[in-house]
Amino acid sequence: MEGAWDVALVLFQVWLSIVVGLIMLPAMFGVSLGFTDIYIKVLVKILEWATLRIQRGQREQPTLPSQSANGIIEKKDGSMEEEIEELRRSHPKNLAGGDFTLCDVFYFCKNGIENIVEDQVTQRFTSEELASWNLLTRTNNNFRYISVRLTIIWGLGVFIRYCILLPLRITLAAIGLSWLVIGTTLVGLLPNSNAKSWLSDLVHITCYRICARGLSATIRYHNKENRPKKGGICVANHTSPIDIVILANDGCYAMVGQVHGGLLGVIQRSIVRSCPHVWFERSEMKDRHAVAKRLKDHIADKTKLPILIFPEGTCINNTSVMMFKKGSFEIGGTIYPVAIKYDPQFGDAFWNSAKYNMVSYILRMMTSWAIVCNVWYLPPMTRQDGEDAVNFANRVKSAIAYQGGLVDLSWDGGLKRAKVKESYKEEQQKMYSSMIVGSDSHEAFVDPM
């Protein structure tokens, strides 16, 4: 009995020293031993082989549905005016004037049915569909048994991910987070000075690097010369809480957010001791002026780190960028846009907060193959004269969408939970009304209320 405990202890010590020596220390110094690169390369080869096997299997059994991410229908993007004009062209013109025709409903009908089959918004709140299976059952929509070899590889994958990678990653995450809390508390004891800021940055970066290793994250940063500077505001598209880890691996930011309880609250309270972050109480968040004032004061102080904000306000599935809330764009200051694009082949980073809570989400992250992503730093932007906050926000959003290869949508990410505003329907009605009475402009027109 004693012997077993000794053996277990020795194994644990060996395990810990491997983790520390080979993974944690290099991570802290930003050095890569190349393990992750090799891992990714091997993974890519295996996934390619798996794809070919599946395609071959599909050719042999034609009843297997092919997995295509191309969408269900092909839409012609005509405007309301164009489509209804076309409809009316073949209809005999009303001699008495007025432009309503019975076939006008066809436009709304077809438009409605198309949106029932496939719309631009609801698909953004669920994970992206992959073009080919990546050996994770969670991404598989039409799993059919293909071959013994594929199933064996899949089984091996499950074993590797759950029994080898998961404990490793949990260990790293635990070390990383505890170091963050302890380190920042210690640094917080120092008096304010340059040394304190430098140490604080060091602690933050090393912790985030350890956490990134804890997710097998491979991050490629582009255009580092545009990295956010002090006194500025960094805005990025939001896919998951991991975005923070991804960005903080390459720079230090002041976080903005609501005060939480539990573990997150502990972390929040300790990191704010070593350098100023902006945490709001729930009640404060309702007061937009108070929020704006605090952020303004923060960026006015040029010694403080750039603020990191996600203007979408909620997690989107990384295929598109949704409406940016104008609040962050009214404060002034320089905006540093950042585009983050994850490669879904290795692991789906999107947090579907309606479906998974934080713990199961983190577990899913840690049992994925890896998190691979690209980060582009875009040139800084400022509000131009005469440009209002909404237009400025849209300009930044388009730049980010363009760089990340994402669809630029004006729909509000809040539609994940809330209903769409009536005013949009009223716009549609107004547009149609002008098509009916537009030509008879001398007839009485009732003002919209």
Partner 1 sequence: MGSRASSLLREEDIEEIKKETGFSHSQITRLYSRFHSLDKGENGALSREDFQRIPELAINPLGDRIINAFFPEGEDQVNFRGFMRTLAHFRPVEDNEKNKVLTPGEPLNSRTNKLLFAFRLYDLDRDDKISRDELLQVLRMMVGVNISDEQLGSIADRTIQEADTNGDMCISFNEFTKVLEKVDVEQKMSIRFLH
For 255, the enclosing helix (H) or strand (E) is: strand 254-258
- Does 425 interact with partner 1 (rule: CB under 8 A)? yes
Task: Give the residue with the Cβ less far from partner 1, 83 or 243.
Answer: 83
Residues 128-187 within binding reach of partner 1 (CB under 8 A): 129, 137-143
- Does 36 interact with partner 1 (rule: CB under 8 A)? no
| Closest CB 349 distance from partner 1, rounded Å | 14
In sequence order, which residues have a C-beta less than 8 Å from that of residue 284 and are 6 or more positions away? 290, 291
190: which 2 tokens?
Answer: 């120092």
The string of DSSP codes covering 318-351 is SSEE-PPPGGGGSS-S-EEEEEEEE-TTT-----
Q: Is residue 318 within 8 Å of 345, Cβ to Cβ? A: no
Task: Give the residue with the Cβ less far from partner 1, 21 or 438.
Answer: 438
Residues 287-346 within binding reach of partner 1 (CB under 8 A): none
- Does 112 interact with partner 1 (rule: CB under 8 A)? yes
165: which 2 tokens?
Answer: 């990678």
Q: Is residue 226 within 8 Å of 237, Cβ to Cβ? A: no
- Does 17 interact with partner 1 (rule: CB under 8 A)? no
Q: Which of 13, 115, 178, 258 binds partner 1 (CB under 8 A)?
A: 115
With contacts defined by CB under 8 A, name the span among 36-44, 297-305, 335-343, 417-425 that binds partner 1: 417-425
Task: Give the residue with the Cβ less far from partner 1, 14 or 117.
Answer: 117
- Does 407 interact with partner 1 (rule: CB under 8 A)? no
How many residues make contact with partner 1 (CB under 8 A)?
72
- Does 70 interact with partner 1 (rule: CB under 8 A)? yes
- Does 426 interact with partner 1 (rule: CB under 8 A)? yes
- Does 79 interact with partner 1 (rule: CB under 8 A)? no
Q: Is residue 263 within 8 Å of 339, Cβ to Cβ? A: no
Please tell me the distance from the alpha carbon of residue 409 to that of residue 407, in angstroms, as a whole number. Answer: 6
Task: Give the residue with the Cβ less far from partner 1, 77 or 225.
Answer: 77
- Does 437 interact with partner 1 (rule: CB under 8 A)? yes
Rg (CA), the chain: 27
- Does 58 interact with partner 1 (rule: CB under 8 A)? no
- Does 441 interact with partner 1 (rule: CB under 8 A)? no
Please tell me the distance from the alpha carbon of residue 280 to that of residue 284, in angstroms, as a whole number. Answer: 6
Task: Give the residue with the Cβ less far from partner 1, 303 or 433.
Answer: 433
Q: Is the dihedral of CA 344, 41, 244, 21 positive or negative?
A: positive
With contacts defined by CB under 8 A, name the span among 281-289, 361-369, 384-392, 441-449 that binds partner 1: 441-449
Other Cβ atoms closer than 10 A to 144: 12
Burial class (CB in 10 A: 0-12, 13-18, 19+), 398: middle
| Closest CB 443 distance from partner 1, rounded Å | 6
